[in-house]
């Protein structure tokens, strides 16, 4: 069963929260949403029917298999604490934030990938088509291209003979990119593999910590005990073993009597300044508000880190490619200028 996208989950939960706030029952609200929906109509009606048959909202969500288990569990906590509306709004904010972050990642990676492809095409054209023209010009003067220029010419000839293979590889790469663009399953599988291997380093680690902080904030805001909120928040990092290990060590520290802020700092799940803010919030009885502010700050820092990282990629590609193109042209033009000067 295909899971709903982050945008779909956020929109559904937000609309449901609005209708519940207006005084409608869960089943009636879902039935109204189903009547007006252009998509997911069957899903909404299935949930409404399940609630009419006696299921809770969290049970109805879990039964569809189209919502993350994390969302169903948090809804259960919200129902038990009488804060279903607040939990729905918190979940809507959470999945809207995840969708925004995913869009930013795709946008940040797409442009450098296109730029790299264009620059590679320019270099291939120079080696395969332009250098042979210069070689014929050299031949008219009775000399041959040697040194760096000769090596590049030979390399270009090898590429020219291998052009069918190169075109095939390029076609495979293009098909793979198209498959990534249209198949959620392929994207999810590739992302899961990468997150298992390299998903808790550098910028990815900042993103993981921001996701964890957001989930922890939702749990505390819903009135969950600290240990249970930590355990539930750890579920968002299940696919990153090293990050999950940090969460487990934090839970163990809290269970042994360490304060939440200290445990988070020791497990390296939050920066020291954020832990100090959380400690102050917990002492004053506004821990849920403190975690909301911490989440906003950590999410902003992770987005800035992505932008900073991507801002280095473009100029680096331009500089490296410009140097390569300049080297190719200079290797060809300088000897030719010497020949022209000798003739002159």
d(CA 73, CA 81): 13
Token code pair at residue 67: 């919502």
Q: Is 259 exposed, middle or buried (0-12, 13-18, 19+ CB in 10 A)?
A: middle
CA distance 71 to 232: 10
Q: In terms of pTM, does the model score above 0.75?
A: no
At 4, list the tokens.
């709903």
For residue range 52-105, what is the model confidence (pLDDT) as tens digits?
998 888 889 888 888 887 788 778 877 876 778 888 887 888 788 778 777 776
Compute the average pLDDT of residues 227-234. Answer: 82
pLDDT > 70 fraction of the chain, expressed in percent and rounded:
91
Q: Domain boundaries in the chain? A: 6-95, 97-344
The structure tokens listed for 343 are 């003739």
**Per-residue pLDDT, 339:** 65
Quick one: average pLDDT of 281-285? 84
Structure-derived torsion over alpha carbons of residues 89, 93, 94, 99, reported in degrees to the nearest 10? 140
d(CA 153, CA 172): 27
Q: Which of 279, 295, 286, 140 is nearest to 216 (CA)?
A: 295
Q: 210-226 burial, b if ≥16 CB within 10 A, otherwise e?
A: bbbbbbbbbbbbbbbeb
The distance from CA 239 to its chain's CA centroid, rounded to whole angstroms, is: 13
Beta strands of 4-142 (E only): which ranges? none
Q: What is the pLDDT of residue 150?
A: 79
Cα–Cα distance for residue pair 221/319, rounded to 1 Å: 49
Residue 117's pLDDT band (cuts 50, 70, 90): confident
pLDDT at res. 182: 67
Q: In degrees rounded to 5, what are phi and psi of residue 292?
A: -65, -45
Taking CA atoms, 105 is separated from 184, 186, 260, 308, 314, in Å, by 15, 17, 31, 12, 15
CATH 1.20.81.30 fits 6-95, yes or no: yes
- Give whichever of 29-43, 79-93, 169-183 has the largest mean pLDDT: 29-43
């Amino acid at each position: 069963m295909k899971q709903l996208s982050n945008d779909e989950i956020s929109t559904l939960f937000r609309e449901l929260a609005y209708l519940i706030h207006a005084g409608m029952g869960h089943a009636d609200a879902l039935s109204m949403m189903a009547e007006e929906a252009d998509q997911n109509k069957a899903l909404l009606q299935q949930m409404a029917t399940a609630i009419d048959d006696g299921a809770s909202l969290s049970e109805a969500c879990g039964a569809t298999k189209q919502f993350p288990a994390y969302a169903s569990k948090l809804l259960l906590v919200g129902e038990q604490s009488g804060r279903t509306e607040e939990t729905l709004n918190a979940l809507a904010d959470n999945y809207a934030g995840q969708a925004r972050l995913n869009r930013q990642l795709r946008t940040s990676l797409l442009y450098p990938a296109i730029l790299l492809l264009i620059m590679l095409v320019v270099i291939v054209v120079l080696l395969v088509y332009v250098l042979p023209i210069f070689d014929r010009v050299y031949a008219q003067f009775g000399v041959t291209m040697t040194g760096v220029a000769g090596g590049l010419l030979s390399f270009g000839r090898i590429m020219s003979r291998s052009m069918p293979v190169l075109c095939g590889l390029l076609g495979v790469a293009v098909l793979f990119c198209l498959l990534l663009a249209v198949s959620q399953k392929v994207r999810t599988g590739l992302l899961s593999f990468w997150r298992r291997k390299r998903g808790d380093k550098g910028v990815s680690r900042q993103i993981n910590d921001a996701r964890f902080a957001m989930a922890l904030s939702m749990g505390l805001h819903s009135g969950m005990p600290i240990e249970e909120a930590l355990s539930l928040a750890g579920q968002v990092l299940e696919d990153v073993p090293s990050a999950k290990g940090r969460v487990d060590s934090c839970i163990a520290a809290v269970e042994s009597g360490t304060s939440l802020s200290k445990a988070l700092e020791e497990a390296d799940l939050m920066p020291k300044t954020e832990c100090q803010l959380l400690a102050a919030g917990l002492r004053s009885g506004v821990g849920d508000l403190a975690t909301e502010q911490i989440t906003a700050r950590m999410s902003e820092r992770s987005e800035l880190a992505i932008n900073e990282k991507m801002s280095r990629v473009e100029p680096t590609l331009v500089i490296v490619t410009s140097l390569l193109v300049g080297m190719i042209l200079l290797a060809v033009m300088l000897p030719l200028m010497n020949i022209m000067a000798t003739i002159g």
